[in-house]
Amino acid sequence: MVSENFKNHWPTVKFKCLSKDMEYYLVKWKGWPDSTNTWEPLQNLKCPLLLQQFSNDKHNYLSQVKKGKAITPKNNNKTLKPAIAEYIVKKAKQRIALQRWQDELNRRKNHKGMIFVENTVDLEGPPSDFYYINEYKPAPGISLVNEATFGCSCTDCFFQKCCPAEAGVLLAYNKNQQIKIPPGTPIYECNSRCQCGPDCPNRIVQKGTQYSLCIFRTSNGRGWGVKTLVKIKRMSFVMEYVGEVITSEEAERRGQFYDNKGITYLFDLDYESDEFTVDAARYGNVSHFVNHSCDPNLQVFNVFIDNLDTRLPRIALFSTRTINAGEELTFDYQMKGSGDISSDSIDHSPAKKRVRTVCKCGAVTCRGYLN
């Protein structure tokens, strides 16, 4: 019998008919070179999950080939065709790469909600040029002052003159931690100078994502997407949109390059001026993978916490309705914090000639293009 260390292997190719019609699996041993691969009978395998994944991968490949003409195993059902074997090996390697990426994302994130990764659609692995961050990353020459100069001295921020009142706006949340102000109204949360504690009801966005989310591969050509794994109540904070903070001039240059590649990651910080833009193409968090929809379930709000510079609001995404577990999260790439449709919102720098990107959101109200 094979030792218990067998649990650390992953099978690559199946069915090599040897004697007495016994099925054998070619085993790649974890931590050992390919030269040590061995053929093992089914009775030696103590890895039901890997065997099930193997079977699923084989079935998925066969189902992707039209009518199975190219690989129909009528004449020889004892061995795998090379194309199937190659696919299964690639799928196994992809699964390992995605698991490592998932582990890395959860090491880097600083919020409560867990991040999962799933691809049951194709062989695409983790993005090669994406770096997970939890807050804005200023480009060279840009300074982000993240220390408030004053704070409240409330004992109960619901009933006293708190930070929002000092800014001339209403407190954004009700006692159920749901947003109660209309789009376009800024959110002023309590900051590091405030005397209220971490349980203050006016500290929501700063606590980060509370929900477990899954980055998944879409099946209709929209690349990666994000779905929630738990139910999200309406008007609840879901996530921030973070990335590299750049000037509007740099955004115009990058925007033309992104248009030609058909990607959309620029978000203009135009709450009060248009000096800065957030670029989430290389640096970002889970929001990097959230797709556009012309009928979205997330809404944009401008948020001020420690940095009260109105040119540099934080961008928070709140649910517009109840979102059920397993449902994809989306927001309108043309939606500003004011709630208005704008041609100068996400990925819409003022370049004169734009390459129009076709929208694939599938909504009844779809406008046809992202820009």
Annotated binding site for Zn(2+): 152, 154, 157, 162-163, 190, 194, 196, 200, 294, 359, 361, 366
- Among the listed residues 285, 282, 275, the one whose alpha carbon sits nearest the alpha carbon of residue 252: 275
40 burial level (CB within 10 Å; 0-12, 13-18, 19+): middle
d(CA 63, CA 46): 27
How far is CA 33 from each of CA 9, 30, 36, 37, rounded to the nearest angstrom?
A: 12, 8, 6, 7
Binding site per annotation, positions: 152, 154, 157, 162-163, 190, 194, 196, 200, 222-224, 291-292, 294, 333, 359-361, 366
- Among the listed residues 190, 135, 132, the one whose alpha carbon sits nearest the alpha carbon of residue 157: 190
Binding site per annotation, positions for S-adenosyl-L-methionine: 222-224, 291-292, 333, 360
d(CA 360, CA 339): 22
**Residues with active-site annotation:** 241, 333
Q: Using an 8 Å Cβ cutoff, are 233 and 328 in contact?
A: no
